[in-house]
Amino acid sequence: MKNVKEEPIQVKCISSQDNYRISICKLDENINLIDNEVYNIYYSSNIYNITNHIVEIPIGEFKYVNTNLFNQLYYKLTYFDFKKGIIMLTTSNSIRLNKKIIGYIGPAYDSVAKCYQYKYICNGNGSNKLFCNIKKNDPNKVNFKGKYNIYNLEGYSFNPIEVNKKLNNFIKIKTIKILIIYIIIIFIICVIILSKNLKNKYKLISNLIK
């Protein structure tokens, strides 16, 4: 795959019926974008062949977010070594033991053909740390001699900031729970000591009376 320069992604745009200054654009369903990536928008000065004479100054940008909106699940990359076939991820939630989650990696370009994309499988271990293996032995895949990127993790959105927020909240909640348990234990110990002291005083007073 000799792709020195990334090929531009073509989008189909139509004018909005409500506002003539706004265009609604749609990507082809076969185009694969990298999750949480910011893309610049360019235009071509060649109306007959829009892949040529592209003006290098962008007219805008958009951020592609393939988020699970209902569960709000996020992940961040901890370790990635394509040669060893290993990926380590941290998720915003704990993954139950032996649950498998699938993702895809591919060359560090946009809209790469499926034959260049490798599947990786992550096994849950009861925590939010995922150890994943890249299926590099797939005979139907074409090896690319260059940099690879993680394209996605099914059901999750790549967002390290949200992962850190959720982990920090989890740590805070856990710390508060531990603190409450300690307070309860100390309270119980104080009650036991106080009751023993009262009992001893009661015995002492009763003995003096006798």
- Let me know if residue 69 belongs to a domain: no
Q: What is the reported pLDDT for 4?
A: 42
Quick one: pLDDT band at residue 38, thresholds 50, 70, 90?
confident
pLDDT at 6 over 60: no
**109 and 173 together in one domain:** no
Task: Answer yes or no: is 41 within a domain.
Answer: no
Q: Is residue 108 a part of any domain in this protein? A: yes
Is 201's pLDDT higher than 70?
no
Taking all residues of the chain, what is their mean pLDDT, rounded to a whole number?
Answer: 80
Do 123 and 171 have their domain in common? no
Q: Out of 120, 141, 161, pick the residue that ends a domain.
A: 161
Domain boundary pick from 144, 161, 178: 161
Q: Are residues 175 and 156 in the same domain?
A: no
What element of type H or E holds 134?
strand 129-134
- What dihedral do alpha carbons 110, 4, 159, 83 form, nearest 10°? 110
Q: What angle do CA 101, 77, 28 make, to 5 degrees?
A: 65
Q: Of 102-106, 185-189, 196-200, which range is least confident?
A: 196-200
Domain that holds residue 201: 162-210
Q: Which residues contact 155 (CB under 8 A, 6 or more apart)?
A: 68, 71, 73, 101
Q: CB of 105 within 8 A of CB of 82?
A: yes
Query: How many of the other CB atoms lie within 10 Å of CB of 149?
Result: 18
146 and 108, same structural domain? yes
32 inside domain: no
Return the number of other C-beta atoms located less than 10 Å from residue 108's C-beta.
Answer: 14
Does a structural domain hold residue 17? no
Structure tokens at 27: 């990507």
How many domains does the chain fold into? 2
Residue 13 lies inside a defined structural domain of this protein: no
How confident is the model at residue 88, as a pLDDT? Answer: 95
Apex CA 22: angle with CA 19 and CA 23, to 5°? 125
135/182 same-domain check: no
The pLDDT assigned to 5 comes to: 47
Q: Is residue 151 part of a domain?
A: yes
138, 161, 184: which is the final residue of a domain?
161
Q: Are residues 157 and 202 in the same domain?
A: no
Same domain, 124 and 135: yes
**pTM for this model (two decimals):** 0.58
pLDDT band at 202 (very low <50, low <70, confident <90, very high): low
Residue from 147, 91, 146, 162 nearest 122 by CA? 91
pLDDT per residue as tens digits for the range 83-93: 899 999 999 88
| In a shared domain, residues 157 and 178 | no
CA geometry: angle 145, 148, 76, nearest 5 deg: 165
For residue 157, is it within any domain?
Answer: yes
Of the two residues 176 and 76, the one the predictor is more confident about is 76
